[in-house]
Amino acid sequence: MFILLSYSIAQVSNHSVNRDALIGQVANHVKILTFNTDKPVQYVRLIIDGKEVASDSFHSTWNGVKLAVVTPPYSKREVEVYYEVCNMGGYMKGAFRQLQEDNVVQSEYFGPGTNVVLNGWTQIYGYSQHYMGSTKALYDLRFEIK
């Protein structure tokens, strides 16, 4: 039996986070998002710590993208990203490092809202970790579309 749970996501930051695109969450490890775009999505990519680790391209005629991000429980070391563009799906994975220290802050980004204007690469999901009081990321994951 599959149960969809909707929890508040732990967010430590100085500003509120737009969660409009977040349509579901499962056991705090899976985030499900959906976005409308002003034009068809042609490219997607996964960037970890500033390096592109995976990418895909489409000959899409529909606007929008759906996304599921699976952050692993403590025993695993890879993040998985499932996406759908124009009824075509794909899968990417990359290294995941979750630091469990009292002074490490974790934050997530759920895009600029549900309606995204594509002007070059646009981040629609992000997860980062940094020490409290620092802006230098210890781990930074971004999923972008174009």
Q: How many alpha carbons lie under 13 Å from residue 32 in its C-beta half-sphere?
A: 9
Q: Is the pLDDT of residue 14 over 50?
A: no
pTM: predicted TM-score of the whole model, two decimal places: 0.85
Question: Is 100 among the domain residues?
Answer: yes
The rounded mean pLDDT for the chain is 87
Question: Is 3 among the domain residues?
Answer: no
Question: Is 12 among the domain residues?
Answer: no
Pairing of strands 122-131, 43-48: unpaired
Question: Is 9 among the domain residues?
Answer: no
Domain that holds residue 102: 22-145
- For residue 55, the surrounding DSSP H or E stretch is strand 51-57
- The stretch 20-26 carries a mean pLDDT of 91
- The stretch 73-93 carries a mean pLDDT of 91
Of residues 54 and 19, more confidence is placed in 54
What percentage of the chain reaches a pLDDT higher than 90?
Answer: 66
pLDDT score at 16 = 60
Number of domains in the chain: 1
How many C-beta neighbours within 10 Å does residue 18 have? 13
Question: Is 117 among the domain residues?
Answer: yes
pLDDT band at 28, cuts 50/70/90?
confident
Tokens read off for 128? 């980062």
Question: Is 120 among the domain residues?
Answer: yes
Are the C-beta atoms of residues 116 and 122 closer than 8 Å to each other?
Answer: yes
Q: Which of 13-22, 24-33, 65-74, 135-144 has the lowest mean pLDDT?
A: 13-22
